[in-house]
Amino acid sequence: MKFSYSLFVLAYLGHAAPVWASNLAKRDISSCPGYTITSKQSTAGGFTVNLELAGAPCNIYGNDILSLNLQVTFDTQNRLHLHIQDTDRKQYQIPGTIIPLNGGGGVSKDNSNLKFDYFQDTNTGFGFRIKRDDEVIFDTSGHSLIFEDQYIEVTSSLPSSANIYGIGEAPDYFRRDTNNTIKTLWNREAAGEFGKNSYGSHTIYMELRKDKFHGAYLHNSHGMDIVLANNTIQYRILGGTADFYFFNGPSALDVINQYTELVGRPYRVPYWSLGLHNCRYGYKDIYEVNEVIANYSKANIPLEAVWSDVDYMDNARGFTFDPVNYPLDEMQKQLEQLHAHNQKRVLIVHPAIQHNVSYAPYARGDQAGVFVKNLDGSEYITQVWPGYSVLPDWFAKNADSWWGGELTRFLSELSIDGLWIDMNEPSTFCTGSCGTGRPADEVPPYPWTIPPQSHRPLNTTNKLLVPPYSIHQALVELSDSTIETTAINAQGLAEYYTHNLYGYMHSKATYKFLTQYRPNVRPFLLSPTTFAGSGKYVSHWVGDNHSNFFDLHISIASMLDFGIFGIPMMGADICGFEDDTTEELCARWAEVGAFYPFARNHNAYGAIPQELYRWPSVAEASRRALGIRYALLPYIYTNLQLAVEKGWPLARALIFEFPGTSDAIDNDRQFLVGDSLLISPVITEGATSVDALFPQGIWYDWYTYSQIQGKNKNITLDAPLEHVNVHIRGGKILPAQVPALTTTDSRKNDFYLIVAADANNCSSGKLYYDDGETFTTDHRWIDLKYADNMLFINQIEGSYTISPPLTKILLLGVADVQTVVVNDSHVNGNITNINGASIIDELSIDLNKRTVVSFDF
């Protein structure tokens, strides 16, 4: 759950217009003079340029800064760092202690694949270009640099109808509309509001030109608009510096690799997190949760992890258990039973702490001085689920240890397997410090339970509350439904500067605690709020989506977005969170959700139940789709290891793998799992077929092994309600195991290989395997190749022992195999020929040894 408050916030605020709606006309920047170059100097890894304001200050949205310094560093062969900052270094920048960046070893400009060129224009002043070979990929020509204390504007030209991907978080189509799009980055709780700013902030984007990708990232925590219009990309930033990184690519995976090398690789998730998760806001007691667990088992639907929302808490206070409906002893019994059946338990925890001296977590935090303050030094008190609440200040020196102490006490009572840290935008129910001066034991009504209230008058004299330039965030003020921008952290900094870092720092603190509390156990951590580098610590989901086919569609685009953002473990609430689902929608969503990297069914308080066993068609659709997922766990896990090592996403847009296919440019209705598995779901109500794009090559139907000759065209496929179309890419080998109802039991079962031959009768793949639990585990990388009617299983590295044998090979596109030879010895395997495929069963091959399998006809 996030919370139903998001549906009522505009009513609560009296339908007041957002601030930006009244000052859109204030965009005449013709009086801004730009900057002129006063000196330049070469350095070992690049050079610096000093800039001075070229004329009278325009002060359009703040105070022009007169003197700037530009530094260019060639970090790596494929990454260029350009940083424009105020000479006096007074503007806020993200400390390296908060988000450490990998600067790279540095190369000479002659050894860089990216080139930097600067110039002085008579009309617009200083400008610069970034080049790849002879192509300019970022160009500020014709656009003045504006650099003020509360406003920075950098503009680059784009080709007509540019192919831009990334920038968010906001629900949107995967390919951004470059004619009139404003991406606003200001973290807030949001319920699937299309195109509007929501939980996280990510400036990274990729552009596809001439079948090659490149990328750019702005390292800045301030609120901002990134505007795509008039063949430009324009950054309008509420302060800080212009700290840019440019990535050469040239493939999409190269850009993501280069970006995550900078901000941090995704964390290593535990194997169990790849199973199906179930939750809802509104389970009345633990006994109802026990019924749900039993019903999944009865329906023969996999269930890996059981989650609870705030229902389990005592009056919504964190680190507590409802003594009547979720008594601790019953929770402990349930956990014991779950673990006995190889299942896991996850609970929600919020950062907001009830402001009450009799509540121990507050008393300890107050003593340690870890809560956000008002300007006068008093505690900032807002309203959240438990009533008037304070918020941890992650900049405070004792905050991490206090938070870890509360979690230690909590986990000592119930040793759950994963944590869901929620509402860390941070999200609140009022504007400003509404609890200041109120009795600690007072529990105010939730705002959606009372008549709509008028919004407070705008304090336009306070430029941190109402900055001169108002970004296009969805609410009236920046402070609405979150912490006020004038609140102060332990560094003496206002929330205005650091707001977008709050959830990142919360995630970092929680991950740090978990790795210390259980030193050699991989944590599983889910957070709604993310920033650049959050993938090092957390998984993510789209938040409070709606139960409709449009949000089902957009969930695919959001999943692909987060592959760019470096957070591959991503999903959406299956069947939708808000509103009532339908049988058809739930079945179709289960078919998509089975292939999300993070697969969880979850819905809102008051909505009808939507567990996957509720309807026969949904249960059957789930069994089929999840059966594929659980069979392909070794393939999925292998690809997630590539995410750990290279940042590569598990869920991929077709354009990532087929950049020369024009129909793939805006395709967010299909997706690939890894590079080998094509998912073509129904995302339209009432449809029983789907028009699926098949890029050039051979594709094999998962169920029948029949071939489709891809010609970069759409093909209409039958898709009855309980069926999702899945195809295997020719030229690829997918490792698999016989599926069970949990990941632990699946790991015990026999392996098999799906060998999908291409037009040259060749294919390749890899298998990565380890214990799936610890950091210090041994591992094993295996290289798989098929050519000349022989399968080669080669050991690349590692000493982890894979216990189950390889007992089956599905040789797709290769008919009429008669005999099989394993390492020069004939074997008596059972061979079946189906639709041009040869299925060899009853083998017993040790995956820990080099093996050659020959197929004779």
| Structure-block tokens of residue 166 | 């990334």
What is the C-alpha separation between 485 and 783, in angstroms, rounded? 53
**Tokens 């006068």 appear where?**
376
Distance between alpha carbon 656 and the CA centroid of its chain, in Å? Answer: 17
Residue found under tokens 């740090």: 512
Contact present, 832 and 841 (Cβ < 8 Å): yes
Determine which one of 422, 551, 611, 722 is catalytic.
422
28 is catalytic: no
Q: Which two tokens stand for residue 53?
A: 């304001």
Q: Which two tokens stand for residue 75?
A: 């970090």
Which is it for the CA torsion 265, 266, 268, 274, positive or negative?
A: negative
Return d(Cα 622, Cα 276) in angstroms, integer.
10
Diameter over CA atoms, the chain: 88
The set of residues, in sequence order, having a beta carbon less than 8 Å from that of 618 and lying 6+ positions away, is 583, 586, 587, 590, 612
Judge whether 425 counts as a catalytic residue. Answer: yes
Going 464 to 465 to 469 to 471, the CA torsion angle's sign is: positive
416 with 473: CB under 8 angstroms? no
SS3 per residue for 744-793? HHHHCCCEEEEEECCCCCCEEEEEEEECCCCCCCCEEEEEEEEECCEEEE
Q: Tell me if 440 sits within 8 A of 355, measured CB to CB.
A: yes
Please confirm, yes or no, whether 314 is among the known catalytic residues. Answer: no
Provide the token pair at 4.
Answer: 């139903």
Nearest-angstrom CA–CA distance, 690 and 679: 11
Q: How many residues are recorded in the chain?
A: 857
The DSSP bridge partners found for residue 374 are none
Residue 601 and residue 276 in contact, taking contact as beta carbons nearer than 8 Å: yes
> Rounded to an integer, what distance in angstroms lies between the CA atom of residue 766 and that of residue 734?
8
Which pair of tokens denotes residue 611? Answer: 């567990």
Task: Find where tokens 């179709």 sit.
Answer: 588
The H helix count followed by the E strand count for the chain is: 14, 47
The residue among 315, 317, 316, 307 whose CA lies nearest residue 286 is 307
* Residue among 450, 335, 435, 320 at smallest CA distance from 388: 435
Sole residue written with tokens 């999409």:
252
Q: What tokens does 233 get? A: 């990309």
Give, for 157, the enclosing helix (H) or strand (E): strand 152-157
Q: Kindly give the interhelix angle for 633-646 and 616-631, rounded to the nearest 10 degrees.
A: 60
List 304, 309, 311, 544, catalytic entry = 544
Q: What is the 3-state secondary structure (H, E, C) of 721-754?
A: CCCCEEEEECCEEEEEECCCCCHHHHHCCCEEEE
Choose, from 425, 551, 620, 657, the residue flagged as catalytic: 425
Q: In 350-434, where do the E strands start and end?
A: 353-354, 382-384, 387-390, 418-421
Q: Which residues participate in catalysis according to the annotation?
A: 422, 425, 544
